[in-house]
Copies of this chain bind each other. A is one copy, B any other.
Amino acid sequence: MADWHTTVTPPALARLLTTARLPEPPTARRPAYRTLAGQIRLLVTEGRLPVGARLPAERELATALELSRTTVATAYETLRGDGYLRSRRGAGSWTALPEGAPPPGDALHPVPPDEQGRTLDLGVAALPAPQPWVGAAAARAVEQLPYYAAGHGHYPTGVPVLREAVARRYTERGLPTTPDQILITTGAMGALHLVQRVLVGRGDRVAVEAPSYAHTLQALRLSGARLVPVPYAHHPTARWDQDEWQRVLRGAAPRLAYLIPDFHNPTGALIGEDQRRELLAAARAAGSIVLVDETTAELGWGVPETAPLPRPMAALDRAAQVVTVGSAGKLFWGGLRIGWVRAAPALVRRLAGERVYSDVGTPVLDQLITAELLGEPLAAVRAHQLDKLRATAHAFAATLPEHMPGWTFPMPTGGLALWVSTDGLSGAALARTGERDGVRIASGNRFGSDGAFEHHIRIPLTVPAATVPAAVERLAAVAARTATGGRLDTPDEAQPLAV
């Protein structure tokens, strides 16, 4: 097979292994090779070490980690046996996934069932498509297809009816917007990928909230950006730590600040207008672009109908420094893959010019469906989705403290998840144990920029409320196994290297 591997240097791998902050040392001693193999496997399955990455030669890694060469060689042999490493004489060794394994770091694939055939996916924070609205909108979109079918179907900036519908919705939310400020993308991730590709260079600093959305953090890492985490101030309610933001913006002058001010993922925090204004002023002084992720902005399920929401960041922007990303994936359906960028028309044109070389445009039919849904059905669909999220949030709030008295979480007023502190239990270890018990769990360290938040998990509000009691019981069982006997029948991947 031809050679297509990127290379991980010994210091880089050593850094990954040490900064990953894997769980606390166990009491029993286990062979160092099993610990090393388990940690590398964890880095691969969590997507923090890409599949196909060439690992250092055994001798080099042994030197970097101050381990014996035999330990490294045996760890590599173990990984090969489990399908997580491939080697070829003269060509080195590179990370892999066993046949049939899902892509790494995904939370996007079916959970392997437990012995009783049960599965519970707490990895994905996404709702099913609200029916009958999506089906009806799809049928109406198909009726419009003949008009579009007469052309070549390429719309780098988006189909006009959807650009207009998105602009109208911003205007309704208090942010006057024209269609030429909107670029339709293939999902919000498509928008983030494009903005990052155009605006962020390798080695550029990007300031991020800590915690923040796991997939964006990983996308930024893969692009070579240097993440500068700015922790949340959690008391009395979650808010930005303005002193820390001031310090980072002034000191690091990041190219870009990535923010989720509206029902933040994973915490659900909603940032007030005063904080928004202060941060914009600081970013302006630093010359930083402010990238606002509004994927969850329409999901205020705990906000009274009559209470005014803080205005969108872009509505407070006096320096054309805000670029906003939005999505139909959470309010409507992820299977539509419709997202967008709201920016100055000149930047929209520039992004469109670039995306011609990535996906050319977003499929027409899904744009027509989304335009339909943003019209007359919007109020009913939104009420339906918010009812579901609210019911699930209340069900977790009623059930979780009973089964897991030490676990705590701030109760948000919107968004897709609860950010749960696990009373010192490792989220990564919970995830590993869960994977064998048919329960997928999103470990907290995936939402940190350098393996922080080890003792957190994110619980999605997108499971049906009626299933919450059973879900909490299974989660409690996983927690019990993790805390005590869970390690007995699993390898030692959840243990730290002694480096």
Tell me the A residues contacting B by CB distance below 8 Å: 1-4, 6, 47, 50-52, 96-97, 99, 101-106, 108-109, 124, 126-129, 131, 134-135, 138-139, 142, 145-146, 148-157, 186-187, 189-190, 193, 198-199, 201, 215, 218-219, 222, 255, 287-290, 319-321, 333-338, 344-347, 349-350, 352-354, 356-366, 369, 462
CA distance A269 to B129 in the complex (A): 46
Q: Which of B129, B151, B345, B365 contacts A138 (CB 8 A)?
A: B365
Contacts of A365 in B (CB 8 A): 138, 335-336, 363, 365-366, 369
Whether A108 and B350, one on each chain, are in contact in the complex, defined by CB atoms closer than 8 angstroms, is no
Within the complex, the shortest CB–CB distance from A373 to chain B, in Å, comes to 13
Whether B104 and A2, one on each chain, are in contact in the complex, defined by CB atoms closer than 8 angstroms, is no
Q: Which of B190, B287, B338 contacts A358 (CB 8 A)?
A: B190
Whether A2 and B287, one on each chain, are in contact in the complex, defined by CB atoms closer than 8 angstroms, is yes
CB closest residue in chain B, given A283: B2
Known: A139-B142, A215-B356, A334-B153. A186 touches B189 (CB 8 A): no
Whether A103 and B336, one on each chain, are in contact in the complex, defined by CB atoms closer than 8 angstroms, is no
Whether B359 and A186, one on each chain, are in contact in the complex, defined by CB atoms closer than 8 angstroms, is yes
Within the complex, the shortest CB–CB distance from A217 to chain B, in Å, comes to 10
Whether A104 and B353, one on each chain, are in contact in the complex, defined by CB atoms closer than 8 angstroms, is yes
Whether B106 and A335, one on each chain, are in contact in the complex, defined by CB atoms closer than 8 angstroms, is no
Whether A146 and B135, one on each chain, are in contact in the complex, defined by CB atoms closer than 8 angstroms, is yes
Whether A149 and B50, one on each chain, are in contact in the complex, defined by CB atoms closer than 8 angstroms, is no
Whether A150 and B138, one on each chain, are in contact in the complex, defined by CB atoms closer than 8 angstroms, is no
Known: A2-B319, A97-B349. A336 touches B129 (CB 8 A): no
Within the complex, the shortest CB–CB distance from A221 to chain B, in Å, comes to 9
Contacts of A199 in B (CB 8 A): 4
Known: A358-B190, A359-B193. A153 touches B126 (CB 8 A): yes
Pairs A-B, 4 closest by C-beta atoms = A153-B335, A129-B149, A103-B353, A126-B152
Q: What is the oligomeric copy number? A: 2
Known: A134-B145, A363-B337. A1 touches B319 (CB 8 A): yes
Whether B360 and A103, one on each chain, are in contact in the complex, defined by CB atoms closer than 8 angstroms, is no
Whether A222 and B187, one on each chain, are in contact in the complex, defined by CB atoms closer than 8 angstroms, is no
CA distance A102 to B353 in the complex (A): 9
Known: A319-B2, A358-B189. A154 touches B334 (CB 8 A): yes
Within the complex, the shortest CB–CB distance from A441 to chain B, in Å, comes to 16
Whether A335 and B359, one on each chain, are in contact in the complex, defined by CB atoms closer than 8 angstroms, is no
Whether A353 and B2, one on each chain, are in contact in the complex, defined by CB atoms closer than 8 angstroms, is no
Within the complex, the shortest CB–CB distance from A291 to chain B, in Å, comes to 10
CA distance A198 to B363 in the complex (A): 24
Contacts of A346 in B (CB 8 A): 52, 96-97
Whether B335 and A154, one on each chain, are in contact in the complex, defined by CB atoms closer than 8 angstroms, is yes
Offer 19 A-B interface pairs, CB within 8 angstroms, sorted by A: A3-B289, A50-B353, A52-B198, A52-B346, A97-B349, A106-B356, A128-B151, A128-B152, A134-B145, A148-B335, A151-B335, A153-B336, A186-B190, A189-B359, A218-B357, A336-B364, A362-B363, A363-B366, A366-B366
Contacts of A52 in B (CB 8 A): 198, 346-347, 350
Known: A134-B149, A154-B334, A365-B138. A289 touches B4 (CB 8 A): yes
CB closest residue in chain B, given A366: B363
CA distance A350 to B105 in the complex (A): 11
Known: A52-B350, A103-B352, A103-B353. A359 touches B126 (CB 8 A): no
CA distance A410 to B139 in the complex (A): 45
Most B CB atoms within 10 A — which of A198, A289, A346?
A346
Contacts of A289 in B (CB 8 A): 2-4
Whether A219 and B124, one on each chain, are in contact in the complex, defined by CB atoms closer than 8 angstroms, is no
Known: A131-B146, A145-B138, A201-B6. A108 touches B360 (CB 8 A): yes
Whether A51 and B335, one on each chain, are in contact in the complex, defined by CB atoms closer than 8 angstroms, is no
CA distance A462 to B138 in the complex (A): 29
Contacts of A109 in B (CB 8 A): 156
Not counting A6-B201, A337-B360, A365-B366, a sample of 12 additional A-B residue pairs whose C-beta atoms are within 8 angstroms of each other reads A1-B320, A2-B321, A3-B289, A4-B255, A52-B346, A101-B349, A134-B149, A215-B356, A218-B357, A335-B365, A363-B365, A365-B365
CB closest residue in chain B, given A44: B353
Q: Which of B127, B215, B321, B334 contacts A1 (CB 8 A)?
A: B321
